[in-house]
A = this chain, B = another copy of it.
Amino acid sequence: MTPMSERLIMHDAPLFNTLAVIGPGLIGSSILRRAQQTQTLARRLIAIDHSPNVIERVRHLGIADHATSSLINGVKEADFVILCIPTGAVASVAKHIIPHMKASSILSDVASVRHSLAQQIVPHLSRDISFVPAHPMAGTEYSGPDAGFSTLFENRWCLLIPPEGTQPAAITRVEQFWQQCGAKTRQVDEQYHDQICAMVSHLPHLLAFTICDTADRLSSDLRSDVLEYAASGFRDFTRIAASDPIMWRDIFLANQDILLQTLERFQNETNKMAEAIRTNNTEEIIDRIKRGRHIRQGLIANQQN
């Protein structure tokens, strides 16, 4: 049972004094909107981005108290800094800002691939700064500060991947932060995280980009008819192929090994399905369709539909 005094503090005071979001895109701007709406996450909101256009949009949208292109000025007063930038940039930006962060502050990121990230960042931590990465499993195919919304994380999972030896108090605060964003939280290890994400997110994106690419390489009359008749499966299937190219290049590269292994499993199953079709093996085709359908029905039962 939490003592009454602590419970009062949790409810009355924001979790952090100053929150700095580096990269107020879809995820970052959704965090800012949520913080603004609930007033329980932080007293003061800072948005940091290297792009003047993004800074201008953030100011126009009014979703931060201060918007700046200076990493160092932006982070120096924050007690919680979240990197919401492409996976490939996380380690270098983290190393760059750590020396300028407040003592005892918390650093986090939302990268979709964890492989070796903690390893690259933890040795650079100093002055009691904690690194508590968290990956919210939420998103849309849109990007940029205009794409965010305060309910993006509602009922979604947010996986915490704290490196070994992280202060439990820091983990708890980041967990509370995401719960107040509406998310369900769970701690997992790096390797398991990357396996799960390869299957539920990275492989589907790779396939969606590639089937669109395959369509793009068709003769021009066929291609325009594909667009015309896309309602029959292609449309839903390819929605995620509108996602940001740099973000996805970084994810594919960062999760290279596990993604390629997952792809290989998928290709083996695809080859077996193709062989069953080629040899008119009706039972095998039905069996494969039913197995697939079974998982899909599990999803519906999980109310993820």
Q: Name A residues whose Cβ lies closer than 8 Å to a Cβ of B.
A: 137-139, 141, 156-157, 159, 195-197, 199-218, 222-223, 225-243, 245-246, 248-249, 252-253, 256, 259-260, 262-263, 265-267, 269-270, 273-274, 277-278, 280, 282, 285-286, 288-300, 302, 304-305
Contact of A226 among B138, B200, B218, B260 (CB under 8 A): B200
Quote the shortest CB–CB distance from A149 to chain B (angstroms).
15
Q: B292 and A157: CB pair below 8 A?
A: no
> Could you tell me the distance between the alpha carbons of A232 and B223 in the complex, rounded to whole angstroms?
28
Q: B200 and A204: CB pair below 8 A?
A: no
> Could you tell me the distance between the alpha carbons of A265 and B212 in the complex, rounded to whole angstroms?
12
- Which residues on B sit within 8 Å (CB–CB) of A217? 265, 269, 291
Given contacts A211-B204, A230-B299, contact A292 B241 (CB under 8 A): yes
Contact of A200 among B233, B263, B270 (CB under 8 A): B233
The A interface, classified by DSSP as helix, strand, loop or mixed, is helix
> Could you tell me the distance between the alpha carbons of A278 and B264 in the complex, rounded to whole angstroms?
12
Q: A293 and B245: CB pair below 8 A?
A: yes
> Could you tell me the distance between the alpha carbons of A226 and B262 in the complex, rounded to whole angstroms?
13
Given contacts A196-B225, A209-B273, contact A242 B296 (CB under 8 A): yes
- Which residues on B sit within 8 Å (CB–CB) of A297? 242
Contact of A231 among B157, B245, B262, B278 (CB under 8 A): B157
Contact of A273 among B206, B230, B280 (CB under 8 A): B206
Quote the shortest CB–CB distance from A92 to chain B (angstroms).
15
Q: B299 and A249: CB pair below 8 A?
A: no
Quote the shortest CB–CB distance from A158 to chain B (angstroms).
10
> Could you tell me the distance between the alpha carbons of A226 and B201 in the complex, rounded to whole angstroms?
10
Q: A288 and B222: CB pair below 8 A?
A: no
Quote the shortest CB–CB distance from A76 to chain B (angstroms).
33
Q: A253 and B200: CB pair below 8 A?
A: no
Given contacts A237-B237, A263-B270, A302-B230, contact A296 B137 (CB under 8 A): no
User: Which of A229, A269, A278, A292 is most buried by chain B, counting CB atoms within 10 A of its CB?
Assistant: A292
- Which residues on B sit within 8 Å (CB–CB) of A159? 229
Can you name 10 A-B pairs with beta carbons within 8 Å? A208-B237, A210-B273, A226-B295, A233-B240, A235-B299, A235-B304, A236-B239, A242-B300, A256-B277, A260-B278
